[in-house]
Structure 1
């Protein structure tokens, strides 16, 4: 299998997926029901959660990642000020002692901490952590957000709106003052460039890419732009496109690993891909890329295993 064929195979897998959008879970949708009782409570039994509460908060996080630690602290601060059940599921399964050392013993009493021992979240298509879900009294998903600046304020105001403490008009006024609206999204132009590439018009795509305004892009625009550079076999431009995107962002990690692979840095690509192997939602393309890297390294046993996983995987 030559280099161009391999590149085409991997890129064809990229085409069928989209990077992180406004809703940070690919397989879980608004209106889906979350089985809270399947999580394993650490400090409290989850059966004690107020079943009549109109709103519940569910945070998915990892105790070993800095951005997640910042968020759990803000989550605890916000929950202490609002009368809603708050559940925090550490997907890295830290002990209660570790969690208390992060949020403090007092804050730990206000929140239901849990582990996902039964794999409830395995099929949710989590792109990045932390993720906060807003649930209604029947545990149906109202909304979900990924990492946000001013987390406690942003999430807290949304909770105030959901619980009727502020009106829809008040919330929209707050939202409008918190978001910059004086620019048009670059996504339509970036997606059009992708279509040109997929239609076999790379030169036209490069011409439009050169004219694209790349200043002050959103995270979603940066991730899509990185994908464009990969499709055009321009791995040296990927890091430039991802400037400012968190090193913990799972989508960015995959693109950085793919760029390292294209530049011949196979060990770096392997290390990064293995670090997200369990949580990256698009298993098929990740397994395929791992198989190709192992093949190039002469490790045909691992290569065959990952190629087989790629063919048999039904996660997409």
Structure 2
């Protein structure tokens, strides 16, 4: 009997993130893809309501959650993977190139507690690696460009693409984060669009393109090839790179960039507590006018 893949999506409107609960209908073994931990940056408050919602759904379906799978170290939301692991015993998995991302950000945040070998995570997937979820086979595809570590998870005719593609009317992911590369992103997306036309593609985000009233996160390879406003068939690599780099130059940083990166390179852990028992997020300070730096940073400077 052919294994049956079941998929349930959970949309977090605050971060425009889609988390997926996927499972093998026969064995009831499940994985959570890109779980969200609710975090209010202004107050520093953490809430587990989004994770609790998907865990409640898993319980209702009598599922055994075996994996918390990350498509990359997100810059727009904090990972709920440790909470999933604590509640279910699931292993946290991500692409092996997370080590490259940790190498970039470890010195920026002075995150000396981050293990540079990626061992904060339970498993680092190689490109092309396959593993079982009950009777379902999952294939890992390395799709860098948005970040060096992005992966997609292919299960039968379904692919969870992470931050590579968006819905056809919205386009493609940005490639201007440290380690990002628009040319790499082009090749990664073409790899996905070379899959069979009927392959279902599941997005990690949706921002509602102008003129669309509802959120959406499922499409197909054929729809992307025919309609993607950035990458439909006929768009050359050079044209895409020029468009992507020009567009990225106009984009502001994600609202949760600073806390998200610090937490997500630690596999969802918060930074260690200080001597007073409180955990803090760091914000590296940059002075736009270098000549004003001594005064701005609280030094007398030369007069």
* Same fold? TM cut 0.5: no
Which structure shows the bigger proportion of residues in strand conformation? 2
What's the TM-score, normalizing by structure 1?
0.22
Which structure shows the bigger proportion of residues in helix conformation? 1
